Amino acid sequence: MTVPNTTILSGPYLGNGVADTFEFAFTVMEASEVLVVMTDDDGVETTLELTTDYTVDVSGKTITLVAGPLPVDYLLIIKSQIVPLQLTNFSSQGAFYPEIHEAAFDKLTRVVQQHQEEAGRSLRVTPTVGTHVDTILPTPAARRALIWNEDGDALTLTDNDPDAMVNEAAASAVEAAASELAAGISEVNAAASELAAGTSENNAAASEAKAQQWAEEDQGVEVETGQYSAKHWALSAEEVTAGKEPGLGNPDEDGKVLTSTAAGVRSWVGMIPGVPTGAVLPFAQNSAPAGWLKCNGAAVSRATYATLFSAIGETYGAGDGSTTFLLPDLRGEFVRGWDDARGIDAARAIGSTQADDFKAHNHDIPVGYGGSWTNTRLRRQEATSNTGTFTSMANTGGTETRPRNVALLYCIKF
């Protein structure tokens, strides 16, 4: 037998609700060498199981679906799936059997064709580029795009969400266009002022300078309070498109949040620069700011918050012991400085809790007649006998011991 063509895949066949048998154009030696993949009308692919989902007629080169016709708008492909094993044993100086040798060569050829088909569906670089670049993919991360690094020799991920970057760029472009329009209007006003002033060259020059400032003032420099030049917005749009923040720093580096006022003034606020991972601070709000988590004892992902897990580990609880860990739970708690071998609050570990308590003490009560304490009650003893009466001391107070306080939200930096 020969392998006269390179076809190892047949289809896709489009289901019509009638046909249940489909042909394939490649040669196989046994049914297990045929792979069938079905895609439903939602685009979900399923690899079918031989015998359970389909049967193979090796000589007739067809497969038949066990469940009946392929549903309407479903797709089906049939491809070769030869296990790359060499099971033919050639004895030294043994007899030469052409059919056995040819079958072995045919299988080898079909394995090569199978790998060639799979490689043809992969991303590749040209031979010359492949000599000096690293094509290993970086570790996937949610909502990050795959790009070449600054040197163009390795793949990396963007620092920001591409959709957010596009939206920022679009907003900056609109603002740049508005500033350009304002600059144009200012230029027209300058010309009008020059015409109205007549011989007042100084006034015309001042208006012209203002128009120039609207157009060309440096990035980040206000032309008027809260308003910037066309150059500022154009450069900001370019920086956002390039994956940078618009002239105001990078939130991953200096720990701030980009905000805009009603007047359009943009600045980084909301997160304190330089706060290390694992720091705990109180906030006068009911939700955690960006970059922080509530100290509510929740179980969070060790992978998502890897830096925080590296800082506090399982100090406040191991979570499920493998994929999560627990945050500190400071709800309703007063925080006390760790003793750290000072001896004031000894034998305490970081993150340990402590129940409420009173320090041991006595109360002196003046007694104007013969009497004494017995247990926790005051006994008044009669002068003429050893008998007397007991008076119990009543309890006072609420359900806990506490100072005056204000409720704030404790959060931990991740």
pLDDT digits (tens, 9 = 90+) for 54-104: 999 999 999 999 999 999 999 999 998 887 776 677 777 777 667 776 676
In this predicted structure, the answer to whether residue 294 has a pLDDT above a threshold of 80 is yes
In this predicted structure, the answer to whether residue 218 has a pLDDT above a threshold of 80 is yes
Q: How far apart are CA 69 and CA 283, in angstroms?
A: 63
Split at pLDDT 50, 70, 90, the class of 318 is very high
In a domain, 92, yes or no: yes
Q: Which domain holds residue 382?
A: 362-394
Q: Which two tokens stand for residue 61?
A: 């080169």
Burial 290-304 (b: 16+ CB within 10 A, else e): ebbbbbbeeebebee
**Of 240, 269, 298, which residue is a domain's last?**
269
Q: Residue 223: its pLDDT value, please? A: 85
Give the pLDDT confidence of 12-55 residue by residue, as tens digits: 999 999 999 999 988 888 899 899 999 999 999 999 999 999 99
Q: Residue 254: its pLDDT value, please? A: 46
- Domain check: are 234 and 292 in the same one? no
* Domain count across the chain: 4
- Domain check: are 103 and 17 in the same one? yes
Q: Is the peptide bond before 12 cis (omega within 30 degrees of 0)?
A: yes
Q: Residue 273: its pLDDT value, please? A: 53
Half-sphere exposure for 261 (CA within 13 Å, toward CB): 9
Q: Residue 87: its pLDDT value, please? A: 66
In this predicted structure, the answer to whether residue 153 has a pLDDT above a threshold of 60 is yes
pTM of the entire predicted model: 0.34
- Domain check: are 297 and 258 in the same one? no
- Domain check: are 176 and 220 in the same one? yes
In a domain, 152, yes or no: no
Q: Output 312 or 193, whichever has higher pLDDT.
A: 312
In this predicted structure, the answer to whether residue 246 has a pLDDT above a threshold of 60 is no
- Domain check: are 370 and 353 in the same one? no
- Domain check: are 355 and 373 in the same one? no
- Domain check: are 34 and 85 in the same one? yes
Q: Residue 190: its pLDDT value, please? A: 79
In a domain, 129, yes or no: no
**Of 207, 239, 269, which residue is a domain's last?**
269
Give the pLDDT confidence of 162-186 residue by residue, as tens digits: 888 888 888 888 888 888 898 889 8
